[in-house]
Amino acid sequence: MHEASVVIARPQPCEQLVLIFHGVGSSAQDLAPLGRALAQACPGAAVVSVQAPYPSQLGRGQEWFSVIGVTEDNRPGRIAQVMPQFVQTIRHWQDVMGIDAQRTVLVGFSQGAIMSLEGTQTPELLAGKVIAMAGRFAQPVRQAPAGTQVHLIHGEQDGVVLPQWSVQAHQQIGALGGTATLDLLPGLGHGIDDRALQLAIRHLTSPERP
C-alpha cells in the first residue's frame, strides 16, 4: 500500500517528518498540493501524502474505514480494527526517513484527521504534533495525548463533521492536562482554504511547545 503514497519532499538530512492523511473517497494525490505548500514552508521536512489502504465504498478514492452505515456506536470499533495498520504506516515512514516519533507531524483532513486524533489515544507515542483539519475524535478523549501537541482547525460552516466536535475535543484535552489549540474559521465549510493552510504552516513551524 505504501507505493501509492506520494513522497513530496525528502531533504538530506531530514529534520522533521510530515505525514498527510486524506479524507474518505479521496487520495494521496488530492492532498499533494497541500503537501507541496507545507514542504515549501518547512524545507527541512520530509513530506509524504499517505494513501489510505482500502477502496472507498463511496465509489471513488480510498478510505481507512467505511462510512456506509456509520454511527456513533460503531465508529470506534471500525477505527480500532484499522488502527494497527495506521500505526504500522506511520512507523514505516519514520523508518524510511530515519525520523523518530517526537519529530513527526501528522496532518489529517476529515477521516485522516479522525485517524490522526484517535492515534493519540494509543499506548505508544506516534507523533510530536497532530494538525487536525475538519476532524473529530470517534469518542470522548480518554487520555491526555502525552508528548503530542494537538492543533484543531475547523470551518464554522462544516456540515459534514460539525465544528462542535473540535470544540469538545479542545475542552476535553485541556481538562485532562493535554496541550491543544483550536481555530474556528468563519464561512468555511468542509474543506481547506488559505486560512487553514496558513494555520497549518504556523503550527508546523512553531516550537515544540506553544
Hey, which residues are catalytic here? Answer: 110, 158, 190
Q: Helices 75-97 and 111-119: crossing angle, nearest 10°?
A: 80
C-alpha cell at 131: 494538525
The helix (H) or strand (E) run that includes residue 104 is strand 104-109
SS3 88: helix
Contacts of 111 (CB under 8 A, 6+ apart): 21, 22, 23, 24, 52, 63, 64, 65, 67, 135
Tally the residues of the chain: 210
